[in-house]
Amino acid sequence: MFSYRHAFHAGNHADVLKHMALVAVLRHLALKDTAFSVLDTHAGAGLYRLDGQAARTSGEAGDGVLALLPAQSGEADESPPLPAALADYLGVVQDCASRHGPRAYPGSPFITAALLRPDDRLKACEVHPTDAKLLAQNLESLGRGRQITALREDGFGVVRKFWPPPSRRGLLLCDPSYEIKSDYERVPQLLEEALKRFATGVAAIWHPIIPRPEAHQLPKRLKALAQQAGKPWLYATLAVGGEAPKRLPGQAKAPTRLRASGVFIVNPPHTLAGQLRAALPVVTQRLGKDRHAGFQVLTQG
């Protein structure tokens, strides 16, 4: 059984990178009149409480979105305005808090739901029994009927069923927990299948940057797949650095803390690289803990 719960990690630096890119991609898709669909293969619970027990236990949001939000408030009078992509993402977060409670944080399905137009569609998959139930309840509470569907299905399998979407415009978001080693195999398989079925769709894949050979190989494999398909790609990473947590008395091993992650996007909006190159220096400066903090935005095509 899976033990990963995104409630412990909601709003951390990895969510900041992934959700900022997600907002920018959705805004770009909404520029054209034709409807688009989003297939969110690993959706989580959809909505989180940053003052809930899980988030408070980990404290990760404090080193993530919460460290960025005050800059939006009046106290930042003398600071330069935030780069557009960062301001836009934080605006979506604040809008969620104004609707769902002061410390509510939107997961990827709620971010997408906030930016869908009436004819756009979202399908969100989750298999953890508790989170799948929460996802269904949370999405149901939005009262959007058939526009938004929660599915308790294997996110790696749904591409065969739902991709391409009928409108032939869409975003495939793949954000696994990488809790099991096979995720590192299934992610490139999913991208290969997605590109075979719908070569012009946007596909965004998040991954942790950790010292494991399969994690190191993953972005290289994704780049090779995009290149074989002759499609442009963007790869953005964010590292915050920081000390490894110490093992406390009674603990078998020291807890792990993610210090960097990346998002790989095939067929990215042409404006995205510039937006991220403007936003990530500010994010790195605010969230970075030491000289290991940094970012990169690579593109091809």
Orientation of helix 108-115 relative to helix 13-29, angle to 10°: 30
Orientation of helix 84-100 relative to helix 108-115, angle to 10°: 100
Q: Shortest gap between Cβ of 205 and ligand SAM (angstroms)?
A: 11
Closest CB to ligand SAM among 6 and 286? 6
Closest CB to ligand SAM among 212 and 247? 212
Q: Shortest gap between Cβ of 212 and ligand SAM (angstroms)?
A: 17
Residue that is written with structure tokens 């909601």 in the block: 10
When CB distances to ligand SAM are compared, the closest residue is 107
Q: Shortest gap between Cβ of 10 and ligand SAM (angstroms)?
A: 7
Pair of tokens at residue 276:
């991220």
Residue type, 279: A
Closest CB to ligand SAM among 60 and 126? 126
Beta bridge partners of residue 106, listed in sequence order: 47
Pair of tokens at residue 190:
């999913």
Query: What is the chain's length?
Result: 301
Closest CB to ligand SAM among 82 and 134? 134
- The DSSP result for 22-59, as a single string, is HHHHHHHHTTSSS--EEEESS-TTSEEETTSHHHHHH-
211: DSSP letter: S
3-class SS of residue 191: helix
**Contact footprint for ligand SAM (CB under 6 A):** 2, 4, 6, 18, 42-44, 107-108, 125-128, 131, 154-156, 175-177
Of 262, 257, 265, whose CA–CA distance to 226 is shortest? Answer: 265
Question: Which residues have C-beta within 8 Å of that of residue 58, sequence separation ≥ 6?
Answer: 8, 9, 12
Closest CB to ligand SAM among 88 and 126? 126
Cβ 72 vs Cβ 158: under 8 Å? no
Q: Shortest gap between Cβ of 223 and ligand SAM (angstroms)?
A: 22
175 in active site: yes
Closest CB to ligand SAM among 6 and 28? 6
Q: Shortest gap between Cβ of 28 and ligand SAM (angstroms)?
A: 18
254: DSSP letter: P
Provide the CA 214 distance to its chain's centre, in angstroms. Answer: 20
Of 272, 257, 264, whose CA–CA distance to 225 is shortest? Answer: 264
Q: Tell me the catalytic residues.
A: 175
